[in-house]
Chains A and B, each alone.
Chain A
């Protein structure tokens, strides 16, 4: 039952590698590789070098699977969780922006005390956010791999690898956060355009 996560991962990433697919689906790389090959065989995905991406047919298949999934969800509980997420979202974006900009200028990371405070703020948010993430995983099992993904990003940051704060493409805290946000929007049957207009998802 990795079809939905793999299709979803392609939708989120555009061009998907087996490694990224494994991380997203919470599976081993060979399993993800095999799953992707199967989807290519079914015509849901197309391969270009090391990457696969969704075909039009795959897009339809994904939409159908998501609609099925939504029928079995406790949308009210997810909705409540999403409101809590929204507050964390505002805070996370502020933290990442403070990491990148200082006094309106790119942070040159010369002031370690300044950077330390921001890393602490991120790790503190991670601690406080984790219970909500566990609730999300209980409400929609497909979200379970996010716990490991956030955990790995937080650990990397704690260990001093600051590229895991916000760098795109790799599973940085901001990358994983943004994908979770997109998944929550999808699970709730909302659209990003509407969420953006409401000031929540931009």
Chain B
């Protein structure tokens, strides 16, 4: 078998990104750093080219190589593909350099069929999860391949792999590449990886970890942990996960290993990372790692901190902050002194940035009456419904008890550019009723009273002053930070 067709992640040295795609490249790097990544192999873009040269068929030697590789996955995981006792499920992902419409990118939980669903139900004692997962798999599989999954896991795998390679040449993907001038001959790779189970037992779960706080910019790890959660549960925003500290209490060794891995990855990639992980029966697995999305304020503070910690050079730090982020940091915000003295009444998830103050209204009619009489309104709802929209438009800020960053209130507030905090928890409506409050949609805090606002200055954010000074010293000034007067763009 030629080494250029099927490669094991973490066992072939440095991989060529063009040959294996971004996903496999990143997993491979994690394995090279001796981090725990579920076993995986990749079919290279070379296989994609041969597939298409062959009229849409996989070569026999490729099929045989995959067969042997799956047997190896079974051995390493001590699970059986299609087995009823310890079933092996895999993910199948495309690995083109960038996602594009028409390209099928992911099938999770491949290997499920009614028999395996029953087995999982017995193993996990969880009725809903196996049924949900199976339904999601059937759905994803049908979307990728255009037909329902066959019973046999091996047939599922062959169909999914062929569909992913085939999708490289879908009309939509071709039109997109031609429109954007992307090379036709590139092809996609396919990564096949063992799935791990965060819902297996009491010492299992799933979560995300940011190597530093992406909202405040504090240099402390920040994350969420969902005991018994599986796969998409945390990122889907459907469940309320626990703070990461709870993992430290429940599984201290796993927590320590996770933090060590986080530090390794941050140092290797020279930036703050966002890491998805799953714990299966007390064993840590890292599923994905990418540069963390962050608030503009955090971007400024983190760039400075990464220099202090010796992780990036000054030049690299300047590259981690965009002019847009500087501009956003310089928007009016709550005066630091006022914030310092203020009482936090509630906290939730920041959904739309900005800060404003007003009187709390608990329903649309109250909001509109108050707005009609010239008052500033903060609309506070358990969750928003369609008929709340008129009230939202009349408000200067929006707060909800339930919901995440993709919720209705969050979506509408961003369309309107109204500061919004969602998911503040039960009791928030009662707590805020009748008050005048200040909502900070950038940090997710709601303060008692009308707080003084300030526009930013380098004096108030020392890290901003530092970045500006570095930029000046390198006679390559950040466009948006003219001497002493940042942010007037």
A13-B386, A192-B383 known; A120 and B172 CB under 8 Å?
Answer: yes
Which residues on the A side are within 8 Å of B406 (C-beta)?
93-94, 96-97
**How distant is A94 from chain B, measured CB to nearest CB, in Å?**
6
Which residues on the B side are within 8 Å of A116 (C-beta)?
101, 176, 179
Which residues on the B side are within 8 Å of A104 (C-beta)?
214, 293-295
Tell me, in angstroms, the Cα distance from A101 to B101 when the chains sit together.
Answer: 19
Secondary structure at the B interface, as helix, strand, loop or mixed, is helix
Which residues on the B side are within 8 Å of A87 (C-beta)?
135-136, 139
Count of chain A residues with Cβ under 8 Å from any Cβ of B?
Answer: 43
B353 in the interface (beta carbon within 8 A): yes
Which residues on the A side are within 8 Å of B244 (C-beta)?
none
Q: Looking at the complex, which one of A11, A166, A174 makes contact with B387 (CB distance below 8 Å)?
A: A11
Asked if residues B389 and A14 are in contact (CB atoms below 8 Å), the reply is yes
Tell me, in angstroms, the Cα distance from A120 to B393 when the chains sit together.
Answer: 29
A12-B386, A14-B387 known; A100 and B236 CB under 8 Å?
Answer: no
Tell me, in angstroms, the Cα distance from A83 to B415 when the chains sit together.
Answer: 28
**How distant is A167 from chain B, measured CB to nearest CB, in Å?**
5
Which residues on the A side are within 8 Å of B409 (C-beta)?
202
B123-143, CB under 8 A of A: which get 1 and which 0? 000000000000110010001
Asked if residues A128 and B143 are in contact (CB atoms below 8 Å), the reply is yes
Asked if residues A124 and B296 are in contact (CB atoms below 8 Å), the reply is no
Interface centre among B176, B353, B383 (most CB of A within 10 A): B383
Tell me, in angstroms, the Cα distance from A90 to B387 when the chains sit together.
Answer: 21
A15 in the interface (beta carbon within 8 A): yes
Q: Looking at the complex, which one of A103, A105, A169, A193 makes contact with B382 (CB distance below 8 Å)?
A: A193
Tell me, in angstroms, the Cα distance from A202 to B293 when the chains sit together.
Answer: 23
Which residues on the B side are within 8 Å of A1 (C-beta)?
none
B437 in the interface (beta carbon within 8 A): no
Asked if residues B386 and A202 are in contact (CB atoms below 8 Å), the reply is no
A180-202, CB under 8 A of B: which get 1 and which 0? 00100000000011001101111
A104-B294, A168-B392, A193-B383 known; A121 and B402 CB under 8 Å?
Answer: no
B324 in the interface (beta carbon within 8 A): yes
**How distant is A149 from chain B, measured CB to nearest CB, in Å?**
13
Tell me, in angstroms, the Cα distance from A87 to B232 when the chains sit together.
Answer: 12
Q: Looking at the complex, which one of A117, A197, A202 makes contact with B408 (CB distance below 8 Å)?
A: A202
B489 in the interface (beta carbon within 8 A): no
Chain B: interface size category: 35 or more
Query: In the complex, what residue of chain A is closest to B414 when comparing beta carbons?
Result: A100
A82 in the interface (beta carbon within 8 A): no
B403 in the interface (beta carbon within 8 A): yes
Tell me, in angstroms, the Cα distance from A120 to B391 when the chains sit together.
Answer: 32
Which residues on the B side are within 8 Å of A106 (C-beta)?
353, 414
Asked if residues B324 and A105 are in contact (CB atoms below 8 Å), the reply is yes
Secondary structure at the A interface, as helix, strand, loop or mixed, is helix
Which A residues, 118 to 147, have Cβ-Cβ distances below 8 Å to chain B? 120-121, 124, 128
**How distant is A79 from chain B, measured CB to nearest CB, in Å?**
14
A196-B383, A196-B403 known; A178 and B414 CB under 8 Å?
Answer: no
A94-B406, A182-B385 known; A166 and B295 CB under 8 Å?
Answer: no
Tell me, in angstroms, the Cα distance from A200 to B236 when the chains sit together.
Answer: 11
Tell me, in angstroms, the Cα distance from A108 to B179 when the chains sit together.
Answer: 21
**How distant is A185 from chain B, measured CB to nearest CB, in Å?**
9
A97-B410, A100-B414 known; A202 and B404 CB under 8 Å?
Answer: yes
Which residues on the B side are within 8 Å of A90 (C-beta)?
236, 238
B407 in the interface (beta carbon within 8 A): yes
Asked if residues A103 and B387 are in contact (CB atoms below 8 Å), the reply is no
A103-B293, A104-B214 known; A192 and B385 CB under 8 Å?
Answer: yes
B400-422, CB under 8 A of A: which get 1 and which 0? 10111111111110111000001
Asked if residues B415 and A168 are in contact (CB atoms below 8 Å), the reply is yes
A179 in the interface (beta carbon within 8 A): yes
B278-293, CB under 8 A of A: which get 1 and which 0? 0000000000000001
Query: In the complex, what residue of chain B is closest to A88 when comparing beta carbons?
Result: B139
**How distant is A62 from chain B, measured CB to nearest CB, in Å?**
12
Tell me, in angstroms, the Cα distance from A202 to B108 when the chains sit together.
Answer: 25
Asked if residues B411 and A97 are in contact (CB atoms below 8 Å), the reply is yes
Q: Which 7 A-B pairs have the closest CB atoms?
A: A120-B101, A202-B403, A199-B238, A93-B406, A104-B293, A14-B387, A202-B407
* Known contacts A94-B406, A97-B405, A202-B409, then 13 further A-B pairs from the complex at CB < 8 Å, ordered by chain A residue: A13-B390, A14-B390, A96-B406, A104-B214, A105-B295, A113-B180, A168-B389, A168-B415, A179-B386, A196-B402, A199-B237, A201-B383, A202-B422
- Which residues does A use to contact B, with CB under 8 Å? 11-15, 83, 87, 90, 93-94, 96-97, 100-101, 103-106, 108, 113, 116-117, 120-121, 124, 128, 166-169, 174-175, 178-179, 182, 192-193, 196-197, 199-202
